[in-house]
Amino acid sequence: MAVYTDITEDDLIRFLAAYDVGALTSYKGIAEGVENSNFLLHTTKGSYILTLYEKRVNADDLPFFLGLMHHLAERGLSCPLPLPRADGKLLGELSGRPAAVISFLEGMWLRKPEAQHCREVGRALAAMHVAGQDFPLKRANALSVSGWRPLWQNSEARADEVQAGLKDEIAAELSYLEARWPKNLPEGVIHADLFPDNVFFLGDRLSGLIDFYFACNDFLAYDIAVCLNSWCFEKNGSYNITKGMALLSGYQSVRRLTAEEVAALPLLARGSALRFFLTRLYDWLMTPPGALVVKKDPLEYLTKIRFHRAILSSAEYGLTRQEASA
């Protein structure tokens, strides 16, 4: 459960006085998420999410994240909206943390997504990329290739505690990717963490995207790589090409990939797998005992890195031969 910062009822009531949300009737910590502390609030006016921004979120980036949610919602994308306070600001402070009240998005995330859901996600991701094209703020991806080595240096010495041989394997992987990371691919605003737990469905219909707190400017196709990694592998570590095909065709029904993006896909998928491996490894080794968070297994992403390393052509992800060789 991701609640890093406790709040008291008195402080919460005082904090909520600045919002037009009615009177608090109940609240509870949310048993999901990794990055921030989230609470579900019920008030006389409805349900809301209270987010306290934690360690990896830089307060200077909050206008980008909150502004982006507004921008995308204005262009018809379903995502939660930060509520304004009486003073017009979107951010307040609670228990010493920057905090926001966010509208509640109906729906549930899928524990066992199927190909049809992957298609919907592909479509929504491309719609987000298109809608983000005229978002005026910029934020570099702190967790792209230049951020991986500093992250690795924090865990490197203890990597073999997790699995023998990891230190050498990851060091080689990192050097390989640093030397070959693409430089010129179409860029824009990406979500950068569109895992199944950040996509809500009502029945089989996608009801919205949440958790824009890694959003940034980067290669659009890198976002697809994140989704292939998080949506198209089965629990046993195998890649499900039917899901890959659905996700990629859903995406391309809104935005066509360029030949350069197609060619870069195996490298981007490998890099995205390394990125999640590294943050998970860091959390695995560094999260203090007793923290109310479920740590995610870094080794799941080692399997994915190895899968991508063996890929010879983007067709293996589920692009048609024609698309893969265009």
Ligand X SMILES: Nc1ncnc2c1ncn2[C@@H]1O[C@H](COP(=O)(O)OP(=O)(O)O)[C@@H](O)[C@H]1O
* Residues binding ligand X (CB under 6 A): 2, 30, 32-36, 38, 49, 80, 102, 104-105, 197-198, 210-211, 213
Report, in Å, the least distance between residue 221 CB and ligand LJ64HWYM: 19
Residue 135 β-bridge partners: none
Q: Give the three-class secondary structure for 202.
A: strand
Comparison of 16 and 122: residue with beta carbon closer to ligand LJ64HWYM: 122
What is d(CA 72, CA 66) in angstroms, rounded to the nearest whole number? 10
Residue among 2, 1, 109 at smallest CA distance from 52: 2
First to last CA, the chain: 46
Contact window for ligand LJ64HWYM (CB under 6 A) among 242-250, 262-270, 274-282, 314-322: 274-282
CB of 44 to ligand LJ64HWYM, least distance (A): 30
Kindly tell me the sign of the dihedral angle through the C-alpha atoms of 231, 56, 267, 326: positive
Within 290-309, the residues that bind ligand LJ64HWYM by CB under 6 A are 296
Q: How far is the CB of 36 from ligand X (least distance, A)?
A: 4
276 is an interface residue for ligand LJ64HWYM by CB under 6 A: yes
The HSE-up count of residue 186 (CA atoms within 13 Å, CB side) is: 19
**Nearest-CB residue for ligand X:** 33
> Which residues have a Cβ under 8 Å from the Cβ of 88 and sit 6 or more positions away?
none
Nearest distance from residue 214's CB to ligand LJ64HWYM, in Å? 7
Site string for ligand LJ64HWYM, 20-59 (x = CB under 6 A): -------------xxx------------------------
Instruction: Return the residue nearest ligand LJ64HWYM (CB atom).
Output: 34
Per-residue contact flags (x/-) with ligand LJ64HWYM for residues 193 to 212, judged by CB under 6 A: x-x-xx------------x-
Judged by CB under 6 A, does residue 223 bind ligand LJ64HWYM?
no
> How many chain residues bind ligand LJ64HWYM (CB under 6 A)?
12
Least distance in angstroms from the C-beta of 207 to ligand X: 10
19: left (phi over 0), alpha (psi -120 to 50) or beta: beta
CB atoms near residue 240 (< 10 Å): 18
Beta-strand (E) ranges in the chain?
A: 24-29, 37-43, 46-52, 92-94, 97-103, 187-190, 199-202, 205-209, 216-219
At which residue do the structure tokens 């963490």 appear?
193
Q: In this structure, how many other beta carbons lie within 10 angstroms of the beta carbon of residue 59?
A: 11
Distances in whole angstroms, Cα of residue 293 to Cα of each of 95, 142, 236, 288: 19, 23, 24, 10
* Smallest gap from residue 179 Cβ to ligand X (A): 32
Residues within the interface to ligand LJ64HWYM (CB under 6 A):
33-35, 193, 195, 197-198, 211, 276, 279-280, 296
